[in-house]
Amino acid sequence: MDSNYEDQDGPGWWIMALLGISMVLGLVMLLMVGCQPLQPALRSDPLPFEEVPPIEAGQTLMITADGTYRVVLDFPEDPPENQELEVTGIVYDSEGPIGDDVEVYFDAGMPHHGHGLAIDVETRRAPAGRFVTPGVRFHMKGRWLLTCDVTRGAHLERARAWIMVN
């Protein structure tokens, strides 16, 4: 039996080359996905909702998954760590600010850590489509997911946005 592997024909080197190429391509794709913007739910393009005013500094625009509602949060660009703040906002549908029959609930969490806010918050409705959530405290630095649930009857839609607490 000859132990000289150089004389043997076989697809081994082809398999190794394909494996190496696929690993390099997989790494490149992983790096491209990892470099996506931090706030994919935030939008700056023109909306078909004519009643939504332009977004100003200190506001964040969130759009529900089905596109029925636009949520404009009065939210600091650099939210403080471990200090209470009051999150306010206004919700629009295609006709303008939502009516009093629509419920709004604001919340935040850190899904990567498996927890939400340390203290439960209560969202209150205010006139003209507005809502108020006092007592919001981001108790640690990192990436937080803001969530606004908008409910009309049995229909619920959720808007989300990522923020960083430094």
Chain segment 103-121, per-residue pLDDT in tens: 999 999 999 899 999 999 9
- What is the domain count for the chain? 2
Residue 84 has a pLDDT of 94
| Same-domain status, 91 and 24 | no
Angle, vertex CA 91, rays to CA 65 and CA 84, nearest 5: 100
- 148: tokens are 């606004």
Q: Provide the pLDDT confidence category of residue 66 given band limits of 50, 70 and 90.
A: confident
> pLDDT tens digits, residue range 84-101?
999 999 999 988 899 999
pTM of the prediction?
A: 0.67
Residues 6 or more apart from 61 whose CB is under 8 A from it? 42, 43, 44, 52, 55, 70, 71, 72, 73
Query: Do 64 and 24 fall within a single domain?
Result: no
Residues 76 and 148 in one domain: yes
